[in-house]
Structures are given as C-alpha cells and as structure tokens.
Amino acid sequence: MKTYNDLDFGVTCIDTAHIRKEMVAAYLIEDDGEACFVDTGTHLTVPRLLEVLDKKNISYHDVKHIILTHIHLDHAGGAGQLLKHLPNATIFVHKRGVRHLIDPTKLRDGVIGVYGELFFKQCLGDLLPIPEERIVTANDGDEISLGNRVLKFINTPGHAKHHVCIWDEKSRGIFSGDTLGVSYREFDTENGEFIFPPTTPIQFDPETWINTIDSLLELKPERAYLAHYCMIPFHPHIANKLKNEINNFSAIAQKLASSKNRHKEITLALLDHLLSSTKKHGVALDQNVQSKLFKGDLGICARGLEVWLDQQ
C-alpha cells in the first residue's frame, strides 16, 4: 500500500490507512527547511507518518508544528504519540480541544461509549496525554509561519465546535479536516467529484456548518485538502453540492425521527440516498462495492444525526 502522495506546493498527502486504504489522510507541509503536520491519524498510524519523514530525509528536529483540525480520533488520536518523536514541535488546536489533549480520559470514554472497547483497542490503539506546555490554542485569524509560508487558522464550526481549518495562501488551499466534506476518489466520474457531509456525533449543526462553508468560499480557495480523502480542486459548485447534502441528510433524519428502529432506518436511508446520488453522478462501480466504501461512514453519520435530532 502506497504510504504517501506528493502534491504541489510542498504538500504531501499521507494515507494513514485507518480502517481501509485511502480513507483518512494526514498532511505534511514542507517549506524552506521546516515541516508541519496537519492531523496525525490515530495512535496506531503514527509509524506511517514517521516513515514519510524518513523517506524524505526530513529531520525529526525540523518538524515545527502539528496542527489538529479537530480532536476526533481519526484525525488527532496520534498526536500524543507523534509528539514524543518530534522534540521541537508544538501542537495547535482549537481552544475547546486543549483540555481534552491534556487529559484524554473524557475523549477515550466518549469513544468507547459510542463505538465500544474493541473498536478503541483494535482501530485506535491508545490515546496519550499531551503536556500542557507543548499545546498552543489556534484562535480564529491567528497566523503562524512555516519557512516562507504563512498558515492562518479559521474557526469552522458545524461538523464540530472544536474544528479549525487552515488557510494556506501559497497554494490557495484549505486544509479542511471534515468541514469541506468527504469525497472518495472511487466515486470520481466525468461529472467530477462526489461529496457528502460527515455528520459525526456529537456536535453536528447544519445551519452553522452551511454558514461556515459560505465564509470559506469568500477566500476563493482553489483546492481543498480533505481528510477523507485527499486534495480536490474546490469550486463554488462543490460547495453547493455539499450544502445541499447537509440539508438532505438532515431531512432524512427528521423524516425518520420517530421511527421504531431509528438508527438502522436512518443508516439505510442514507445509503439509499447516496446510492441513488452516485447513480445520477454516473458512478459505474458495483453497488455492493459502493455500499462497502460507504459502510464505515454511514453508521457514524446516522448517530450524529440522531444526537442532533435529540437536541431539537
């Protein structure tokens, strides 16, 4: 399995191989002798990040920042383990994430509560606490330097309240974590990229999310470095598709709000919806293969929608 992909502008997409190949990315940015990770994958996927540094002959001492788009564990679970190898790196995270990195007990218990102990052990591995002095709050509008480059943090609530995106003027790109949607390359057609919103528990907020997408569009981004999966050219029509899907997912959940077997029915309805959308999009892949590719996401999306329903 290929570990990484060199993109333009000194950006590398690293396949963390969490759950399956090409599902969860972490990024490495290099600029003038300095390097920075955006997201880390899980505790178990850290060796792949270090392997990329080794293959590229980047000294562990030259990694200056580890930026976490948000603290969901497929993105940030490896931060504590990675930091141990990078003596000069500082972690940047939204202010709501700081205390959970210092003491990950609540995060761990929350994940085990939703996904179970077995999933935690097998797919996430562990969660190490991070010393407070190595964490810096990423406030909206703050800028940090990397070599000759400036990276700017933008608060991006909607998927989660603890989400930040990173604006990279040099590539006119947004490192978007989960905010600009999920788009797997298997669904690319001549109609372009297929995209849907990860409505993960427990802070999905459709209105806020749509406002966030609109505010990111004001930057006129040319590319989005998605966590799931990889870089896509970003145009207003992709943003519109994503906003429509946020509304569609919410409407599906609302329609099934009082059904007996709510979780199962929402999950199936989301799958039906996506399969009919991919058909319109011209995806030729066998529907069973498509279902397998969506499977990892839809149960989680349904749970997030249910939490949102319960808060109404």
Binding site for Zn ion (CB under 5 A): 72, 178, 200
Q: Which two tokens stand for residue 91?
A: 């972690």
Spatial contact of 250 and 308, defined as CB atoms under 8 Å apart: yes
The smaller minimum CB distance to Zn ion, of residues 178 and 193, is found at 178
HSE value, Cβ hemisphere, 13 Å, CA-based, for 171: 24
Q: What is the dihedral of CA 101, 105, 109, 115, to 10 degrees?
A: 40
The smaller minimum CB distance to Zn ion, of residues 10 and 78, is found at 78
The smaller minimum CB distance to Zn ion, of residues 7 and 182, is found at 182
The smaller minimum CB distance to Zn ion, of residues 31 and 178, is found at 178
Minimum CB–partner distance for residue 273 and Zn ion (Å): 20
How far is Cα 154 from Cα 138, in angstroms, rounded to an integer?
A: 8
Q: How wide is the angle at C-alpha 295 spanned by C-alphas 293 and 301, nearest 5°?
A: 120
The smaller minimum CB distance to Zn ion, of residues 197 and 221, is found at 197
**Going by C-beta distance under 8 Å and a sequence separation of 6 or more, which residues neighbour residue 176?**
69, 156, 165, 216, 224, 225, 226, 227
Residue nearest to Zn ion (CB): 72
How far is Cα 275 from Cα 286, in angstroms, rounded to an integer?
A: 10
- Say if residue 229 is preceded by a cis peptide, omega within 30 of 0: yes
The smaller minimum CB distance to Zn ion, of residues 86 and 209, is found at 209
Minimum CB–partner distance for residue 280 and Zn ion (Å): 27
Measured in degrees and rounded to the nearest 5, phi and psi for residue 69 equal: -65, -35
Minimum CB–partner distance for residue 250 and Zn ion (Å): 17
The smaller minimum CB distance to Zn ion, of residues 30 and 178, is found at 178
Minimum CB–partner distance for residue 15 and Zn ion (Å): 17
Minimum CB–partner distance for residue 72 and Zn ion (Å): 3
**Going by C-beta distance under 8 Å and a sequence separation of 6 or more, which residues neighbour residue 62?**
33, 34, 35, 88
- Say if residue 67 is preceded by a cis peptide, omega within 30 of 0: no
Minimum CB–partner distance for residue 32 and Zn ion (Å): 31
Minimum CB–partner distance for residue 148 and Zn ion (Å): 31
Minimum CB–partner distance for residue 276 and Zn ion (Å): 25
Measured in degrees and rounded to the nearest 5, phi and psi for residue 72 equal: -60, 140
Q: How wide is the angle at C-alpha 122 spanned by C-alphas 81 and 19, nearest 5°?
A: 90
The smaller minimum CB distance to Zn ion, of residues 70 and 223, is found at 70
